[in-house]
Structures are given as C-alpha cells and as structure tokens.
C-alpha cells in the first residue's frame, strides 16, 4: 500500500493524500451517520488527476469511493468497514461556475456546491431549481439524482442535466464528455443517463452542465390546515387545475412532524396559535413580474376561500407568507425529528392518489405492532414522495436495531408490494438500502444492471454492486 500512496502523492501532490486518522476522520461521515474506515483520502484538483488516481487504483486493485459534500443519506459516498478503500473527495474541483445567461445554463466542477451555483446564477436572475434542505455538491447531486421540494414543477436533476464529464473506472481512467450545453441533443445512446443516479458506482463525475430557470420575482406560500389528511389530494388537483405552472410546491406535514419542528427549533412561531391541525399542506405559487405578490396572494386566497366556504370544508385555517417563515417550519422537520429521538427513516414514493391511503393503513399497522414508535411523516405530496419517518422517543431507551430493521422492512414491503411504490424516492441506492434493492428490484433488472456496471466500470468504484443479490452487505450500517 505504501507504493500506491507514494505514487498517488506523486500524481496529485503528497499534501492531498491524507492518511492521518485525524485528517481522514471527517471524510468518514455523511449526512446521516458515520460510515466505515478509509485507507486514505485523496483530494485531486482536476479531472486529469482523477484519471491518474483511477489508473493507479486499478493497477493496485484498490476500490475508490467518490465523495462530494457528504450530504448523502444512504452511505454511497463513505468507505466500508474493511479499511482498504480510498475516498476520492471532489472538494477541490471547484473552479468558478460558468453561467451562460442567454442559454440559461451553468457549467460547474463536481465539487461546486448547490449554493455556489445559485449565487452565480442569481447574478443573472436565474436559479437551479433543485430545492433541498442540504447543500450538496454538483457531483453528488448528479450521482444521487436528487429531487427535492420543487420537483412538482421542475423535475429532478436528471431532467435539468445537459452535459456531464466523467472519468471511467475502466483501468485507463478514460475521460468522457457526454452531451454539452445543448437543450436538445439526440445523437445516440445518452450515456450520461447511466451515471445519473448511479451513486458514483459507474464512474467519477467531474463536471456537469445544468439547465437554469428564471428566478421567480413573486412568490407566496400558504400553510393550509386540514381537518382530514385525505383532503390534501383534492386540494392538490384543484390547485394544479387553477394555477397550472405557477404551482411550485405542495408539501405535506403530519401533526407529529409539525409539532416536532416547532418544539425543537426555537426560532419558529406556530402559525395556528398553538392549534396543530391533523395534517398541514405547504403550498407555494411562483411567478415572473407579470403577477405581483399581491395578485398571487389574492388569487391563492380566493381559491382557498372557495373551499373554506363549502359546508363540508376540510380546511380549518390558512396562514400566508411571502418570505421564508412557513418554509422554515417545513425545513426544520428533520432537525425536529432528530431532537425528538431515534429516527427510523423510509424515503418512499407512491402514486399521488395512494399517499393518504398508504399513510392511514401504515399508521394503524405500526401503532398495533410497535407501540411507542411514533410516525412523524412529511414529504412531497405533489410528487408522491413521502418521508415516512418514525421516531423512537428518547424516554423509551435505545431502539433494538433488529426492531428498526423489521419496521423498515414492513414499511418498504407495504409500499412496494401492496402499492407498487418505491423504496427509494430520492435518496438513491447505497450500502444502507442495498438490502432493499436486492429484495425489491426484479432479478432480470439487477442482472442486466450488474452486467452494464461490469462493462462500464470493470474496476471497482463506489459502494454499490448493482448486480448484487447479497442481502448482507451494508446491513451493519442500517439504522
């Protein structure tokens, strides 16, 4: 290994090959929990250096794990427990993003953060429309194909991705340019799609060109307190029909998730004077200057008033905001849940019409089978994405990992087998959910995926074996 580390030092500079435990430790944690132990952390400064690393690693038969801003939630960007993998941090690939304002695109190195993209785009009244609680890197966003809270209007990273530079784990470190800065470009197999959402396990993403959108001049949010959760779907259809492309978010919050955010995040104010409704929906309308915020607010108020005036109105109350106060509640939920106890998280997706029926059934089943475990779900009801998260309160002591596994297994099986849903809506695949991948993705799909992975990345890169039927891997990390 000393030979390899020496050669790596020569390739990228010895100061960028970290081997001291004190230096390496901060690269062994992602957005959810600690990962395993790395042999070393490599910090290349260019795609040429990434290529050199992959060549050297291939010669020595060592696994390379690409890593972005460590905001991932499935463990795809951290090492395993064997201690023999190299973490390839893209954090030094951070040249200033290049905005093409007329084309509405930005080209950025893999290590550039989402917030930096938006700062650069903002100078031209543009933005990258992937709205996330975290601040991931460009490479990480593409590798996870992140979705977020404005997916309803703008889609995921994949649908906003025009070009990609990747370094192949083919033993030669081939650098491929896939696509470019063109909105329309159909010239054969669109290979960049293979690397998008592949958890860094098909190659190393070093640069991307992303589509930008005009920044809305006017934005109004309303938090709608509902008497019955299932009224959310009716409200969604109604607002979509009425506002069309002006509707940019439709987020749901269960009462326990709502209360957890307010109880644990001190800066927040209760929008309903302490009376938490059974279910709340955050609605956002966005517009160019053709509509003022006054006009948007009035139009939203009129639409909601029509529902509220009905004899059987499901709307209890409405709070309206033009800044970030209501979004702050929504974004505080994960922190509120962590402060409430141990979180058992399930990032699922369902057909939109199934979300509320799924919730009702799953709530009853979990209440009956695991009393003491609270369901604090929230999510992107507008796109069927549901963070069906549960909390085991601190007062109950620590949660048996086997019970946490059983709970997750139950929720995922219900979502996938009973509802045709997904066990990973927007967090992607990593060692923490590879067991579910092996369980629910059909064998024919895994088989073909594994063959493609072997073809594209014969050298081991990343943490995921897409052909895997080994349900044991990574189970030590689940929880």
The backbone torsions φ and ψ at residue 336, rounded to the nearest 5 degrees and listed phi first, read -60, -40
- Token pair of 104, please? 């509405």
Interstrand relation of 17-18 and 40-42 (parallel, antiparallel or unpaired): antiparallel
Taking the complex as a whole, the smallest distance from the CB of residue 469 to a copy of itself amounts, in Å, to 13
- Terminal-residue alpha carbon distance, the chain: 32
- Token pair of 80, please? 């395993």
For residue 28, what is the DSSP state?
Answer: S
Taking the complex as a whole, the smallest distance from the CB of residue 392 to a copy of itself amounts, in Å, to 26
- Token pair of 385, please? 């994405």
Closer residue to a copy of itself in complex, CB, 109/354: 354
Taking the complex as a whole, the smallest distance from the CB of residue 156 to a copy of itself amounts, in Å, to 7
Closer residue to a copy of itself in complex, CB, 111/147: 147
Taking the complex as a whole, the smallest distance from the CB of residue 128 to a copy of itself amounts, in Å, to 15
Taking the complex as a whole, the smallest distance from the CB of residue 420 to a copy of itself amounts, in Å, to 6
Q: Are 305 and 322 in contact (CB under 8 A)?
A: no
Sign (positive/negative) of CA torsion 190, 191, 194, 200? negative
- Angle CA(157)–CA(105)–CA(73) in degrees, nearest 5? 25
Q: DSSP 3-state assignment of 13? A: coil
CB 281: neighbour CB atoms within 10 A?
25
Taking the complex as a whole, the smallest distance from the CB of residue 309 to a copy of itself amounts, in Å, to 18
d(CA 447, CA 194): 15
Contacts made by residues 174-181, CB under 8 angstroms, sequence distance 24+:
174/51, 175/47, 175/48, 175/51, 175/206, 176/203, 179/209, 180/209, 181/100, 181/103, 181/105, 181/107, 181/209
CB 426: neighbour CB atoms within 10 A?
24
Closer residue to a copy of itself in complex, CB, 196/477: 196
Closer residue to a copy of itself in complex, CB, 7/198: 198
- Token pair of 409, please? 């297994």
Distances in Å between the Cα of 27 and the Cα atoms of 5, 167, 427 are 17, 21, 19
Place of tokens 């801003």: 69
Taking the complex as a whole, the smallest distance from the CB of residue 384 to a copy of itself amounts, in Å, to 5
Taking the complex as a whole, the smallest distance from the CB of residue 77 to a copy of itself amounts, in Å, to 15
Closer residue to a copy of itself in complex, CB, 43/192: 192
User: Please, where are the H alpha helices in 186-247?
Assistant: 192-195, 231-243
Taking the complex as a whole, the smallest distance from the CB of residue 101 to a copy of itself amounts, in Å, to 7
Closer residue to a copy of itself in complex, CB, 183/267: 183
Closer residue to a copy of itself in complex, CB, 102/273: 102
């Amino acid at each position: 290994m000393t030979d390899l580390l020496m050669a790596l030092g020569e390739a990228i500079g010895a100061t960028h090959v970290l081997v001291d435990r004190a230096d390496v430790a901060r690269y062994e944690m992602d957005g959810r929990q600690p990962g395993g132990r790395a042999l070393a952390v490599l910090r290349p400064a260019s795609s040429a250096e990434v290529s050199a690393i992959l060549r050297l690693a291939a010669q020595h038969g060592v696994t390379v794990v690409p890593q972005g801003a460590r905001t991932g939630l499935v463990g795809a960007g951290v090492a395993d427990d064997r201690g023999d993998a190299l973490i390839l941090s893209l954090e030094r690939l951070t040249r200033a993003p290049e905005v093409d304002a007329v084309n509405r695109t930005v080209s950025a190195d893999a290590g550039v953060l989402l917030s930096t993209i938006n700062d650069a785009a903002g100078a031209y009244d543009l933005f990258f429309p992937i709205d996330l609680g975290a601040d991931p890197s460009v490479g990480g966003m593409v590798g996870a194909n992140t979705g977020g809270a404005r997916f309803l209007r703008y889609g995921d990273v994949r649908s906003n991705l025009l070009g990609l530079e990747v370094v192949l784990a083919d033993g030669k470190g081939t650098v491929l340019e896939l696509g470019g800065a063109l909105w329309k470009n159909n010239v054969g197999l669109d290979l960049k799609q293979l690397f998008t959402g592949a958890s860094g396990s098909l190659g190393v993403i070093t640069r991307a060109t992303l589509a930008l959108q005009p920044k809305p001049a006017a934005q109004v949010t309303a938090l709608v307190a509902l008497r019955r959760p299932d009224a959310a779907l009716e409200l969604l259809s109604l607002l979509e029909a009425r506002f069309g492309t002006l509707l940019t978010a439709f987020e749901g919050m269960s009462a326990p998730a709502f209360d957890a955010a307010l109880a644990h995040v001190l800066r927040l104010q209760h929008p309903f004077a302490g009376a938490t409704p059974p279910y709340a929906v955050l609605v956002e309308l966005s517009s160019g200057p053709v509509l003022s915020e006054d006009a948007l607010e009035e139009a939203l108020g009129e639409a909601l008033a029509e529902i509220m005036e009905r004899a059987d109105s499901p709307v209890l109350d409405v709070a309206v905001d033009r800044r970030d106060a209501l979004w702050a509640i929504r974004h505080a939920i994960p922190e509120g849940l962590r402060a409430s106890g141990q979180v058992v998280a399930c990032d699922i997706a369902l057909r939109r019409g199934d979300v509320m029926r799924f919730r009702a059934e799953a709530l009853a089943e979990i209440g009956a089978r695991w009393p003491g475990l609270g369901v604090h779900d929230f999510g992107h009801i507008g796109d069927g994405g549901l963070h069906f998260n549960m909390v085991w309160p601190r007062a109950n002591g620590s949660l048996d990992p086997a019970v946490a596994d059983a709970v997750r297994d139950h929720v995922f099986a219900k979502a996938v087998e009973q509802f045709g849903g997904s066990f990973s809506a927007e967090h992607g695949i990593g060692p923490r959910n590879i067991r579910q991948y092996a369980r629910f993705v059909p064998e024919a799909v895994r088989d073909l995926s594994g063959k493609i992975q072997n073809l594209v990345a014969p050298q081991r890169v990343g943490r995921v074996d897409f052909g895997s039927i080994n349900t044991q891997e990574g189970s030590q990390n689940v929880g």
